[in-house]
């Protein structure tokens, strides 16, 4: 796949093999072409890229494998030595009394406290505590090196100072490399340092020097990431682990248990003894044993204030120090196993590099947040007005019971509350001056004044309106009262009905059992209304005639004539014989006896005959489901992103925004409904991400704290603001060692019709700097194609016109087959076949073949 020049530099070999040098089986080639045609992949024209040739840096080794191994080893070897120093050290016990002073304090073996600028040793175990109610400020911290204990106290903890801003500044953070009052990293201070912590990405965001754009040699090693990499849990395993000792009501757990009973599977819980949740307390209990960590003091930081921290200062500092001790013990247990499991230095180098993420910002960050909030508020106000208007229009269907013929609103609660009045009291005599009023006026006044006693203390809420409409109207005595159905929102179940949503042109319908779906007319079986349902006027019936008209379907000819409830009741009152001829009673009974028998037993009797079944047309939804009682129609569930069988909570959720753009999900209430649907889509991103974006700890830097590249740049503006965000990344947040961060690693691309989706564009390089990026498009598919082609046809990238074959060598094919053979005899803890990790010997053999 490479040009000859690049191939020669990387693999130290000559030109690629030609077609004449490789044996190609003609029959196999025909089979390949047949497969490609079957999947509509043959005869596809593709752009042929020109060869890219440039001089690469010299390989750091004899082959590409040794090159990366050498580079990674250079990056991590000094930090590995620092880690070993911590593991082998015999630290003394923590101080009995902590110094109540600003900044860092060092504690000798005899407990002597000495103020210092920052911990002197190059490797420490570190933990900080924040007071939640005081904002994003660090309150206290402790550290442990191979020689000393250290403590740090915030200025606001020692002195009761007024905070002029709710956002922390650089001087409020914890220094680990610079002296107190210094804003620059000098060359002699830029030593290689290692900080170990549990979820250390959180602690790193409160370190002062991490907000300087100058490159620091300080690296962070996360014990939580090491635990996850060695023996972490998958998402579903975490759910099962939490549900171990209690009756979980989570749907995933119930479905898993039901499937186990259905298939008779015997599930083993052995995996719960070799792993645990990711918090420090559980990880410490699993790997170190002993007494569980006491986390009761944590409530002070979660719910208390600064006065509570000052009152319990010694206890809280000891609590923080216990976490440091526990973190070190966990690291001592996990570090040898981690090194054994992940021997390649690129793994550790990658984890450390992911822990150095840095996001520069400028004044556009605040402008972005302010404009998004303003736009979002305006759109939400317009959306609410549109939904309130549709609710008012729908309320008018109460007249003449028109709602019964509406495919969306028919099953809402249309019951009306009447005005409640007190009983009429005894008539009071009202004294009036004879000269002022006449007898007739006096009677009118008496009548009006007498109604005062009829008014109840608690007035009826919205009398004369249907119940569903009254639920959308706040009561008058509420604090946030506003007129009309102001409580309506896109999250309510009534909103898709007011919008009259359709899926592929079919009206949506909500089933208590299956969730949101859509109704497709044309079903010719199941026309079986029950007699007691027809007689019961209180129970609403699906307006299937209106659905047929909406979808342009003709009425089925082979379905028996359907009569209304009123017509049927007339037949019953008149003693109609036809209404009871299908009653399942003794043949000797006449119609009158059958009628009395039906009323006395209350049996449900089918009234209409069922016609022959009709084939169901293909639909994108999940179904059809026959247990939804809609005569003449099929019910399909709206497809869920997690697959079949899952209930859709709302068709207006963010997962269905693409369906709105494609026109699959649309509204039938006119331009107002279409506009409401577009507004809901526009507001979705900011609504889901507003809190996470606004809570980002953006630290603004003073001019004296900026680098010379910025201040000397011609683009530098004294009125501009420059700052940085340190994302709280978990370098190995999954068992596949993928980094995890809730905001920045999940940010989507920008969309012109979604407020706030341009989040990534707000990370802007300062003057004198540039962003450089590289991304291989569909890299996983490329690799899978290479391996799949080499296994099937023993070649890859064959160009018949050019006469070149870039297939894998035979030795590599054999190594891959050996690895695949090792993956067959393995079962996971659930008794299912799964792919096992190839042995280290086969991986080594594969690396040698790749290198050659």
Report how many helices (DSSP H) and strands (DSSP E) the chain contains, helices first.
27, 16
d(CA 211, CA 724): 6
d(CA 244, CA 267): 13
> What is the maximal distance between C-alpha atoms in the chain?
128
Rounded to a whole number of angstroms, the distance between the first and last alpha carbons of the chain is 16
Rounded to 5°, the CA angle 81-84-86 comes to 115
CA distances from 713 to 126, 359, 630, 709, 723 (A): 37, 20, 72, 6, 16
568 near 534, Cβ under 8 Å?
yes
d(CA 568, CA 532): 10
Nearest alpha carbon to residue 226 among 83, 62, 381, 415: 83
* Residue 222: DSSP 8-state: E
Nearest alpha carbon to residue 633 among 549, 524, 558: 524
- Burial (0-12, 13-18, 19+ Cβ within 10 Å), 820: middle
Pair of tokens at residue 452:
């005062």
Instruction: Tell whether the torsion through CA atoms of 249, 253, 254 and 257 is positive or negative.
Output: negative
d(CA 60, CA 345): 15
d(CA 140, CA 151): 8
125 near 198, Cβ under 8 Å?
no
Strand partners, 518: 508, 636
CA dihedral 316, 322, 324, 329 (to 10 degrees): -170
Q: For 399-459, give the DSSP string.
A: GGGGGGG-TTTTTS---BPPPP-PPP-PPPP----TTTS-HHHHHHHHHHHHGGGGS-SSP
Buried/exposed code over 96-129 (b: 16+ C-beta within 10 A; e: otherwise) = eebbeebbbbbbeeeeebeebbbbebbbbbbbbb
d(CA 382, CA 672): 11
339 near 158, Cβ under 8 Å?
no
Helix residue ranges per DSSP H, 451-604: 467-470, 495-499, 531-535, 544-550, 565-573, 591-601
Instruction: List own/partner pairs for 353-358 with CB under 8 A and 24 or more apart.
Output: 353/75, 354/729, 354/731, 354/739, 355/200, 355/201, 355/204, 355/219, 355/220, 355/221, 355/222, 355/729, 355/731, 356/219, 356/220, 357/726, 357/727, 357/729, 357/744, 358/210, 358/213, 358/724, 358/726
- Burial (0-12, 13-18, 19+ Cβ within 10 Å), 455: exposed
101 near 180, Cβ under 8 Å?
no
CA dihedral 739, 741, 744, 747 (to 10 degrees): 90
- Of 51, 65, 78, 127, the catalytic one is 127
Strand partners, 515: 511, 648
**Is residue 127 annotated as a catalytic residue, yes or no?**
yes
Which secondary-structure segment (H or E) carries 149? Answer: strand 149-153
d(CA 748, CA 466): 42
Cis peptide upstream of residue 624 (ω within 30 degrees of 0): yes
Known catalytic residues are 127
């Amino acid at each position: 796949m490479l040009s000859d020049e690049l191939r020669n530099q990387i693999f130290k070999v000559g030109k690629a093999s030609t077609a004449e040098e490789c044996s190609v089986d003609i029959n196999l080639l025909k089979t390949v072409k047949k497969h490609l045609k079957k999947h509509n992949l043959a005869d596809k024209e593709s752009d042929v890229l020109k060869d890219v040739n440039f001089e690469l840096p010299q390989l750091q080794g004899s082959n590409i494998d040794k090159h990366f191994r050498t580079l990674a080893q250079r990056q991590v070897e000094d930090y590995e030595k620092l880690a070993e120093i911590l593991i082998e050290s015999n630290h003394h016990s923590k101080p009995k009394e902590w110094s109540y002073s600003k900044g860092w304090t060092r504690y000798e073996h005899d407990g002597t406290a000495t103020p210092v600028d920052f911990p002197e040793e190059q490797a420490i175990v570190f933990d900080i505590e924040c007071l939640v109610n005081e904002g994003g400020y660090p309150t206290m911290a402790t550290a442990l090196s191979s020689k000393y204990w250290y403590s740090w106290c915030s200025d606001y903890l020692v002195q009761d100072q007024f905070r002029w801003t709710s956002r922390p500044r650089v001087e409020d953070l914890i220094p680990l490399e610079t002296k107190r009052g210094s804003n620059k990293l000098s060359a002699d201070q830029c030593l290689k340092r290692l900080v170990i912590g549990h979820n250390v990405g959180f602690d790193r965001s409160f370190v002062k020097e991490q907000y300087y754009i100058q490159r620091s040699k300080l690296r962070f090693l996360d014990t939580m990431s090491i635990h996850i990499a060695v023996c972490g849990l998958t998402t579903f395993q975490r759910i099962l682990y939490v549900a171990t000792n209690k009756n979980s009501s989570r749907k995933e757990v119930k479905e898993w248990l039901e499937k186990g009973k259905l298939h008779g599977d015997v599930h083993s819980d052995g995996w719960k003894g070799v792993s645990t949740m990711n918090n420090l307390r559980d990880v410490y209990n699993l790997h170190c044993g002993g007494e569980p960590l006491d986390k009761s003091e944590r409530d002070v930081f979660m719910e208390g204030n600064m006065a509570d921290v000052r009152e319990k200062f010694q206890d809280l500092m000891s609590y923080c120090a216990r976490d440091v001790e526990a973190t070190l013990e966990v690291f001592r247990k996990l570090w040898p196993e981690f090194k054994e499991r992940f021997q390649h230095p690129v793994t550790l180098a990658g984890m450390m590099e992911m822990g150095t993420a840095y996001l520069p910002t400028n004044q556009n960050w605040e402008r972005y947040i302010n404009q998004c909030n303003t736009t979002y508020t305006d759109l939400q106000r317009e959306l609410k007005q549109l939904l309130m208007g549709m609710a008012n229009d729908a309320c008018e269907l109460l007249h003449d019971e028109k709602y019964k013929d509406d495919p969306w609103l028919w099953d809402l609660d249309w019951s009306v509350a009447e005005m409640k009045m007190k009983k009429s009291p005894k008539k009071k005599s009202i004294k009036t001056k004879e000269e002022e009023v006449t007898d007739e006026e006096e009677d009118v006044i008496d009548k009006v004044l007498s109604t005062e006693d009829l008014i109840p203390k608690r007035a009826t809420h919205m009398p004369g309106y249907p119940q569903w409409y009254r639920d959308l109207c706040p009561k008058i005595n509420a604090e946030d009262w506003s007129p009309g159905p102001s409580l309506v929102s896109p999250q309510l179940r009534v909103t898709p009905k007011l919008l009259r949503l359709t899926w592929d042109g079919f009206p949506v319908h909500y089933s208590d059992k299956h969730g949101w779906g859509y109704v497709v007319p044309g079903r010719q079986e199941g026309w079986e209304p029950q007699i007691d349902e027809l007689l019961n006027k209180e129970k609403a019936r699906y307006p299937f005639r209106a659905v047929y008209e909406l979808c342009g379907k003709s009425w089925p000819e082979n379905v028996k004539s359907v009569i209304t409830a009123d017509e049927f009741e007339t037949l019953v009152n008149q003693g109609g014989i036809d209404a009871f001829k299908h009653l399942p009673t003794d043949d000797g009974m006449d119609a009158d006896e059958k009628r009395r028998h039906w009323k006395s037993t209350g049996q449900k009797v089918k009234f209409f005959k069922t016609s022959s079944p009709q084939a169901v047309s293909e639909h994108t939804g999940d179904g059809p489901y026959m247990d939804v009682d809609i005569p003449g129609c099929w019910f399909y569930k709206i497809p869920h992103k997690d697959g079949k069988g899952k209930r859709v909570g709302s068709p207006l959720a963010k997962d269905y925004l693409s369906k709105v753009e494609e026109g699959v999900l649309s509204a039938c209430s006119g331009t107002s409904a279409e506009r409401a649907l577009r507004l809901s889509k526009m507001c979705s991103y900011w609504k889901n991400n507003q809190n996470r974006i606004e809570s980002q700890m953006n630290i603004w830097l003073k001019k004296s704290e900026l680098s010379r590249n910025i201040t000397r740049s011609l683009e530098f503006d004294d009125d501009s603001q420059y700052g940085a965000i340190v994302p709280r990344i978990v370098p190995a947040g999954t068992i596949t060692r993928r980094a995890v961060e809730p905001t920045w690693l999940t940010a989507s691309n920008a969309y012109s019709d979604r407020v706030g989706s341009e989040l990534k564009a707000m990370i802007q390089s300062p003057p004198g700097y540039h962003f450089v990026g590289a991304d291989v498009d569909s890299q996983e598919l490329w690799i899978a194609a290479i391996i799949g082609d080499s296994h099937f046809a023993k070649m890859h990238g064959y160009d018949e016109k050019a006469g070149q074959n870039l297939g894998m060598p035979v030795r590599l094919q054999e190594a891959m087959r050996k690895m695949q053979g090792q993956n067959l005899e393995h079962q996971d803890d659930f008794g299912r076949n799964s792919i096992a990790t190839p042995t280290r010997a086969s991986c080594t053999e594969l690396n040698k073949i790749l290198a050659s």
